[in-house]
Structure 1
Amino acid sequence: MHIAKKIESSKVNRPALRLVKTQDLSRDEWLEVRKRGIGSSDAGTAVGLNPYQSPLELWMIKTGRDGDMPKIDPNDETSPTYWGSLLEPIVAAHYTKRTGNRVRKINAVLQHADEDKSWMLANIDREVVGANDVQILECKTAGEFGARLWRDGVPDYVVCQVQHQLAVTGKGSADVCVLICGQEIRVYRIHRDDELIARLIKLERQFWHYVETDTPPPADGSESADRALRYLYPKDTGNTIDFADDTEMSATFADLVNLRADIANREELESLLKQKIQEKMGDASVAVFETGKVSFRRSKDSHGIDIAKLLLDQPDIPERYPLVKPGNRRFLIST
């Protein structure tokens, strides 16, 4: 029994393989390498815990179906990704200042050493040097919206990312250093959890099976899944598909119709309650209650162009400046 445990432990802690060096890779080449497996930043998405991306959208990327989907521009200064990349060295430097731990970059995509987990890849922000209690540093930045996800500690999708890194590298613990709203540094320690890693690997393997068999994973109701479906099936054929004898799909349709009716009733009730408060407020700007408050203020005047008058004065404008907007598939319900 003790021998078996010792053998299993040594197998778990095998160091990662260096799949490819990243020093001379372009961004496009690096993205192509990532399609060869599930990276650490993909882990939370693959198991359905990433609030920013669905498994379906990730599947489209891994299977090369994302050609027409909007891409993150690494030079877009309004993108959180841009600022995350720009501030990563600053976060790492402040981590060293805060903890005294020295760090260095690993310029390689790492791969799990076990052949049956070769699809597990990892990019490590920094390796911690000379510390016995921690080996990996993950750098994060969070803006006003993202900071909400850090109120109770490290978000689940980041925990998955770090445990994935520990699984690939065989290391024992990692620090997550996050810069909150550009002015607050927090450091969290995450220890290796072999039970969690086992569950993570099982779920990730299920996702990778979808990729290997070219089978789309189920949609999860997120905006990301909605976006992925629209790009996966951008056009309709004009054909009619009959689900009348499909009990599961007929039940799904009935649930959707009932849910929409319930939502309509609740929206009507919401309007009634809101109007009751507005009526009592009169011309007041703010109303305070036992558990919160509401504001009822007039917004600033906006300025625009009166298109109708413009077209009366210059009716040839549509011909001189034509614009064709691609149509979108609309989901309409009839009962």
Structure 2
Amino acid sequence: MAAIDTPTGILLGEFTPGTPEWDAARAGLCITATEIAAVMGVSPWSDPFVLWHKKSGLRVPPFVMTPQVEWGNRLEPSVGAKFIENHPDLGLAPTGTFRHQDRPWQRATPDLLGETLVEIKTSPVSHGWDNGVPLHYYCQTQWQMDTLGLDSCYVAVLISGHDYREYLVEYDADDAATMRAAAETFLDDVRHGRRPPIENTEAAYDTIRLQPDRYDEIDVEVPATIAARYEICRDTKVAAEAEYTAAKSLLLDALGNGRNAVHLGRRIAYRTAREDGTTIALQPAR
């Protein structure tokens, strides 16, 4: 790994991902480049509610190594090697974890660093990449640049295992300032125990499930607004599921022996089948 000087970044160390040292460099009252999207409420994997619990030392759902994550990790070195092959003059190499020289709580761990900054990604689909870098990755690149004092960052991505692309993201001082302010407010909320609102995500629900440390056989009176919302949503969900089942039956019946259900040239669903032709499932179009 390369210990490369940056205008405002101070190298904390070169840590292997997943080791106790790596976790320690990212723990506590700091915000990393991978966490800033959660602070801003635009992360597909986390949200302010879940991150607040993590930073407060409370229980959060454990990290799950999915096949998508595993193969993304396996492929990232190859994607990085492709970028270096395309840009041999940039002196790029893996590096370590940095903090900002004036803001110790602002952390960044670039994938590649040299004459420029490079973030490496993989994606199973092109959705979200056709008009540039997805918003959560844009936040990550801005945080990296703001931490290190750099003006640009390349994003190298491999989509669907064969579609290699490169994007250039320029530093935006206004966006970076907005993120810094949000991060400072978030960390202040952690210090003072001000919990963010509960998000409408499975991650938030799973986080709440983990908080009780015992099981008491007691009745708890809940507010009318919470009780009403739960009962209305429960009944609506049951009715919606029944209606969806009926809609699937009608569509599958109309599809007959076909594979793709199309309306005005647009595929809306497709049928998966066994060797004898019987249906396994009706899947919504992606």
Deviation per residue, 1:41-63 (Å, 9 max, x gap): 11111221111123333333333
* Contact 1:103–1:126 (Cα < 8 Å) also in 2: no
Note if contact 1:16-1:113 (Cα within 8 Å) is conserved in structure 2.
yes
Quick check: 1:266 aligned with 2:212?
Answer: no
The residue aligned with 1:310 is none
The whole-number CA distance in structure 1 between the counterparts of 2:121 and 2:221 is 49
How far apart are residue 300 of structure 1 and its match? 6.7
The answer for the alignment partner of 1:55 in structure 2 is: 48
Change (3 A) 1:293 1:215: closer
Decide whether aligned partners of structure 1 residues 112 and 202 sit closer, same or farther in structure 2, where only a CA change above 3 A counts: same
- Which residue pairs with 2:112 in the alignment? 126
Q: Structure 1 residue 27: deviation in Å?
A: 1.2
User: Is 1:200 aligned with 2:174?
Assistant: no
* Deviation of the 1:235 alpha carbon: 4.2
Does 1:32 find its partner at 2:24?
Answer: yes
List aligned pairs for 1:274-293, cutoff 5 A.
274-281=248-255, 283-286=256-259, 287-290=261-264, 291-292=266-267
The answer on whether the counterparts of 2:9 and 2:148 sit within 8 Å (CA) in structure 1 is: yes
Q: 1:175-186 to 2 correspondence within 5 Å?
A: 175-186=154-165
Of 219, 224, 229 in structure 2, the residue corresponding to residue 240 of structure 1 is 219
For residue 81 of structure 1, report the CA deviation from its aligned partner: 3.7
1:136 to 109, 117, 123: 117
**Bigger strand share:** 2
Assess if the C-alpha contact under 8 Å between 1:47 and 1:207 holds in 2: no
Query: Would you say how many aligned residue pairs link Structure 1 and Structure 2?
Result: 268
Task: For residue 231 of structure 1, report the CA deviation from its aligned partner.
Answer: 1.6
Name the structure 2 match of 1:316: none
List gaps (5 residues or longer) in structure 2: 1-5, 277-286
Distance 1:92 1:239, change over 3 A: same
Q: Does 1:148 align with 2:127?
A: yes
1:164 and 2:143 matched: yes
Q: Any conservation in 2 of the 1:35–1:63 contact (CA below 8 Å)?
A: no
Matched with 1:7 is: none
In structure 1, the partner of 2:231 is: 257
Q: Take 1:55 and 1:268, find their aligned partners in 2: how far apart are those partners?
A: 33
1:14 positional shift? 5.3
Q: What is the deviation of 1:136? A: 0.8
Question: What is the identity percentage for the equivalent residue pairs of Structure 1 and Structure 2?
Answer: 23
Change (3 A) 1:292 1:104: closer
Summarize the Cα distance change of 1:113–1:80 in structure 2 as closer, same or farther, 3 Å threshold.
Answer: same
Q: What secondary structure sits across from 2:35 in the alignment?
A: helix
Distance of aligned partners of 1:294 and 1:112 in 2 relative to their CA distance in 1, 3 Å threshold:
closer
Per the TM alignment, residue 177 of structure 1 is displaced from its structure 2 partner at its CA by 0.6
Tell me the secondary structure at the aligned position of residue 104 of structure 1: coil
| 8 A contact 1:285–1:297 mirrored in 2 | no
**1:288, distance to aligned residue in structure 2 (A):** 4.0
1:50-92 alpha-carbon deviations (Å, 9 max, x no partner): 11123333333333334x843346xxxx544433333333222
The within-5 A match list for 1:59-138 is 59-66=52-59, 69-72=61-64, 79-105=67-93, 107-114=95-102, 117-129=103-115, 135-138=116-119
Question: In terms of mean alpha carbon deviation, does 208-217 or 224-233 score higher?
Answer: 208-217
Q: 1-side partners of 2:47 and 2:210: how far apart? A: 14
Residue 10 of structure 2 corresponds to residue 17 of structure 1: yes
Give 5+ residue unaligned stretches, structure 1: 1-12, 130-134, 245-249, 302-335
Which secondary structure state, in structure 1, belongs to the residue aligned with residue 34 of structure 2?
helix
* Deviation (angstroms), 1:215: 4.4
Q: Aligned partner of 2:84: which letter?
A: T
Cα RMSD, aligned residues only:
3.0
1:230 to 209, 213, 219: 209
What is the distance in 2 between the residues matched to 1:86 and 1:277?
A: 40
Checking the alignment, whether the CA contact within 8 Å between 1:175 and 1:187 is kept in structure 2 is: yes
What amino acid is the match of 1:262?
A: T
Q: Give the AA of the match of 2:111.
A: D
TM-score w.r.t. the length of structure 2 is 0.79
Change (3 A) 1:179 1:284: closer
User: Structure 2 CA distance, aligned partners of 1:39 and 1:196?
Assistant: 16
TM value normalised by structure 1:
0.69
For the residues of structure 1 that align with 2:225 and 2:55, how far apart are their CA atoms? 32
- C-alpha displacement at 1:169, in angstroms? 1.0
